[in-house]
Amino acid sequence: MQASKEYDSPAIEYRLAAEWEPHAATWLAWPHRKATWLGDFAPIPKVFEKVARLLAAYEPVRMIASGSVLEEARSSIGSVSNIELVDIPTNDAWLRDTGPVFLLPPDRQEPLAVAWKWNAWGGKYPPWDADAKVACAIARRLQMNVVEPDVVLEGGAIETDGEGTLLVNYRCIEDPSRNPGLSRTYLERVMREHLAIEKVLWVGGELVGDDTDGHIDQLARFVSPGRVVVARQPDSLDSNHAALEANCALFSTLVDARGRQLEIIPIDIPSRFVFEGVQLPASFMNFYIANGIVVVPIFRDKADDAALRQFEQCFPGRRIIPFDCYELIRGRGALHCITRDEPARQA
């Protein structure tokens, strides 16, 4: 099915929900592709098990896998209350990027799933044939209508306030390895139309070691309408220092879809975080918001405690749960990268 205008009817105005809005579920994919992880793969499935068990205490969790991978997941979490195993094949476990983006209607109409094209971050990790089908497979499982824009766009590349503003990084969208020959003007129009967005805010920047070419969920996230936490690196010897300083300055000039100048909350990330000589993109921005909680990645670093205190101030009324991502970051991602929130249908 090609990209459709069916949801653009004035009678049905879909909306891209903010992550802090109520969830119907969190989707995850059981890890099995050893080649994309640095170091020993053996601890990684245990990390996913811990994430699934944690989230299942607050909302339903749906874990996808197939064949022997599904059986491995079943042996670990098959008996856990509030976790459903779903038979969908995968190449990899970064479901934030491969899963569908869900849009909510303003009434009791069915939500809509948007399945963007997928090519493994610009062709970096073949094969990706199974992951290219994941978004549609999840939508079919949920019996949702689905549209498939002819543009590569990963879920970690977009961030919304739920009020019509979208944050994106041009580096991972306006990219010849993903969308050759497509202009920023065209890409913005496609995102606005298919995500029901009023205003797109383009930024730049990239963390050393980030193989996504600068996903926004490593750099800056909304914590409420008009308020954004932004990664900062105060260590002038760290390779990320200059780029993140420039990003903080840029964010302070941005105005959202409602005409608000963004309030910027800088959060210092770990400095020169290295595994076996490779600097990795350890960032507190890769947190995940679930029903009643915010799960914040920590890295056994001296910056952890200060970041947690800042998140407590950003999310009053929610429980802040630190989660050790020392192993998870060896895949060059963290909590937000492996989760896909399914918003609750409106009453």
pLDDT of residue 347: 65
Higher pLDDT, 206 or 110: 206
Tell me the CA distances in angstroms from 238 to 74, 233, 258, 331, one per residue in order.
42, 7, 36, 20
182: Cα separation from own chain's centroid: 23
Superfamily name and number for 6-343: L-arginine/glycine Amidinotransferase; Chain A (3.75.10.10)
pLDDT of residue 10: 34
User: Long-range pairs for 186-189 at CB < 8 Å and ≥24 separation?
Assistant: 187/151
Rounded mean pLDDT, 164-178? 97
Task: Quick: pLDDT tens for 219-237.
Answer: 999 999 999 999 999 999 9
pLDDT of residue 8: 45
pLDDT of residue 259: 98
Task: Quick: pLDDT tens for 14-27.
Answer: 999 999 999 999 99
Tell whether the model's pLDDT for residue 13 goes beyond 90: no
Residue 346: band (very low, low, confident or very high) from pLDDT cuts 50, 70, 90: confident
Tell whether the model's pLDDT for residue 49 goes beyond 80: yes
Task: Quick: pLDDT tens for 313-334.
Answer: 999 999 999 999 999 999 999 9
Which tokens go with 133? 């089908």
**Nearest C-alpha neighbor of 333 from the set 47, 100, 119:** 47
Rounded mean pLDDT, 142-156? 96
Tell whether the model's pLDDT for residue 311 goes beyond 70: yes
pLDDT of residue 63: 98
d(CA 216, CA 239): 18
Which tokens go with 18? 């903010």
Q: Just list the catalytic residues.
A: 337
Q: Helix or strand or coil: residue 199?
A: strand
Question: How many CB atoms sit inside 10 A of residue 162's CB?
Answer: 17
> In the chain, pLDDT over 90 holds for what percent of residues?
93
> Which pTM was predicted?
0.95
| Contact status, residue 141 vs residue 188, Cβ threshold 8 Å | no
d(CA 267, CA 244): 11
- Dihedral sign from CA coordinates of 88, 93, 95, 100: negative
pLDDT of residue 210: 97
Q: Where are the domains of the chain?
A: 6-343
pLDDT of residue 254: 97
Tell whether the model's pLDDT for residue 138 goes beyond 80: yes
Q: Classify the phi-psi angles of 258: left when phi > 0, otherwise alpha if psi is within -120 to 50, otherwise beta.
A: alpha
Task: Quick: pLDDT tens for 71-123.
Answer: 999 999 999 999 999 999 999 999 999 999 999 987 767 889 999 999 999 99
Which tokens go with 112? 């809509």
Backbone angles phi, psi at 249, to 5 degrees: -65, -40
| Contact status, residue 288 vs residue 294, Cβ threshold 8 Å | yes
